[in-house]
């Protein structure tokens, strides 16, 4: 419903939501992200943009899953956490934060405040294509013991940096990060993280290498091919 809200201004008919929750209850997943928890703002947005207390209670009553909400880090500060999250206590298990890499350090402060209230915290890192503009974020990856992701993009960076990567997916469009690099698919069940981390901490994670032709010279090779094509015409 969170992503679907971009098409409906987060306004869904209650019968539609009930049907969605009922269908989701039969799936083998642990968490259900139900919407944003945003401060009041100008313009019209539906209830799943704010997830007021009565909506949260309805979701809790209808769903058999652990509920997650998302905060947009750019709109939330530490001093707003009590007002936003106090109504979520006892209903919401996880708070995910949508963050811009440039605000990563600020997001860490926000995450600490959320954890102090007893919620699980997860990051939804946005604008992955801007990483090269934020060397401090790449530094954090490079100095990490490991990276856990459900995205495909970061698996390339971890492979180049030699950092173990645990990908919560069943497949990948970057198979070379697995066959050659440091990435491993561990499936979509979060319970698989524990055994994978045990392998990591025991020193048994594969070393990995950099795939062939990942040398930063692709542009030159392309230009050489194009030049040869032009000369042969």
120 pLDDT higher than 80: yes
- Give the whole-angstrom CA distance, residue 90 versus residue 95: 13
pTM of the model: 0.65
Greater confidence (1 vs 108) lies with 108
pLDDT digits (tens, 9 = 90+) for 130-176: 666 767 778 888 889 999 988 777 899 899 999 999 999 999 999 99
- Give the whole-angstrom CA distance, residue 147 versus residue 137: 13
What rounded mean pLDDT belongs to the chain?
89
Which strands, in side-by-side order, build the sheet including 147-149? 147-149, 165-167, 183-185
State both tokens at 28: 């083998």
Average confidence (pLDDT) over 88-101? 92
Q: Quick count: other Cβ atoms within 10 Å of Cβ 22?
A: 12
- Give the whole-angstrom CA distance, residue 203 versus residue 197: 10
| CA atoms in the 13 A half-sphere facing the CB of 14 | 6
Q: Quick count: other Cβ atoms within 10 Å of Cβ 189?
A: 11
| CA atoms in the 13 A half-sphere facing the CB of 6 | 2
pLDDT digits (tens, 9 = 90+) for 199-222: 999 999 999 999 999 988 999 999
Beta bridge partners of 147: 165
All structural domains of the chain = 1-126 (3.20.20.70), 132-210 (3.40.50.2000)
Greater confidence (39 vs 159) lies with 159
Q: According to the model, what pLDDT value does residue 65 have? A: 95
**Could you tell me the pLDDT band of residue 14, with boundaries at 50, 70 and 90?**
very high
- Give the whole-angstrom CA distance, residue 126 versus residue 147: 16
| CA atoms in the 13 A half-sphere facing the CB of 153 | 11
């Amino acid at each position: 419903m969170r992503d679907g809200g971009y098409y409906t201004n987060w306004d869904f008919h209650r019968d539609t939501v009930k049907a969605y929750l009922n269908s989701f209850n039969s799936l083998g997943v642990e968490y259900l992200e139900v919407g944003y928890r945003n401060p009041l703002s100008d313009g019209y947005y539906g209830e799943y943009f704010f997830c007021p207390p009565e909506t949260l209670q309805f979701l809790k009553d209808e769903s058999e899953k652990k509920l997650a909400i998302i905060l947009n880090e750019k709109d939330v500060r530490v001093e707003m956490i009590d007002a936003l999250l106090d109504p979520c206590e006892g209903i919401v298990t996880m708070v995910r934060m949508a963050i811009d890499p440039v605000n990563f350090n600020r997001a860490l402060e926000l995450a600490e405040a959320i954890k102090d209230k007893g919620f699980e915290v997860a990051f939804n890192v946005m604008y992955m294509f801007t990483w090269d503009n934020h060397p401090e974020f790449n530094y954090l990856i490079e100095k990490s013991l490991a990276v856990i992701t459900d995205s495909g993009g970061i698996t390339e960076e971890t492979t180049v940096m030699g950092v173990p990567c645990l990908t919560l997916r069943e497949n990948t469009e970057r198979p070379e990060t697995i066959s050659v690099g440091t990435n491993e698919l561990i499936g979509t069940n979060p319970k698989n993280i524990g055994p994978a981390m045990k392998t990591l901490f025991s020193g048994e994670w594969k070393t990995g290498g950099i795939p062939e032709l990942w040398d930063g010279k692709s542009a030159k090779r392309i230009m050489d091919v194009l030049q040869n094509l032009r000369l042969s015409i």
